[in-house]
Amino acid sequence: GAVVSQHPSRVICKSGTSVKIECRSLDFQATTMFWYRQFPKQSLMLMATSNEGSKATYEQGVEKDKFLINHASLTLSTLTVTSAHPEDSSFYICSARDRTGTVNTEAFFGQGTRLTVV
């Protein structure tokens, strides 16, 4: 299957700083990328959907100014947590969808990023 790489796998930052998480599709072009947040022992909550070259679509309740998503190329999407606070500590997972001709494929998931804000 297709490979989605997330970096970093773990990050610790100080409160008030910004953190950037990268999501790369290694062997395919990702027409659509999704960002999820997962609290301990809970399910994945979709934060936003981004299509290459256009603005991300955020889910209700997700602050777009706090969670900046950029999908500038077909192989890279970034999530920047701005002015991070301890309550932003969580596990963030990205997924990417490929396209074969005019048909999109299923979504493939990255390995996740554990963010701890101290």
Partner 1 sequence: AQSVTQLGSHVSVSEGALVLLRCNYSSSVPPYLFWYVQYPNQGLQLLLKYTTGATLVKGINGFEAEFKKSETSFHLTKPSAHMSDAAEYFCAVSDPGYSSASKIIFGSGTRLSIRP
Residues that bind partner 1 (CB under 8 A): 1, 4, 6, 31-32, 34, 41-44, 46, 49, 51, 91, 93, 95, 97, 103-112, 114
Q: Return d(Cα 46, Cα 38) in angstroms, integer.
A: 9
**Whether residue 86 has a cis bond before it, omega within 30° of 0:** no
> Please, which residue, 2 or 13, has the CB nearer to partner 1?
2
> Please, which residue, 29 or 104, has the CB nearer to partner 1?
104
**Cα–chain center distance at 56:** 11
> Please, which residue, 5 or 82, has the CB nearer to partner 1?
5
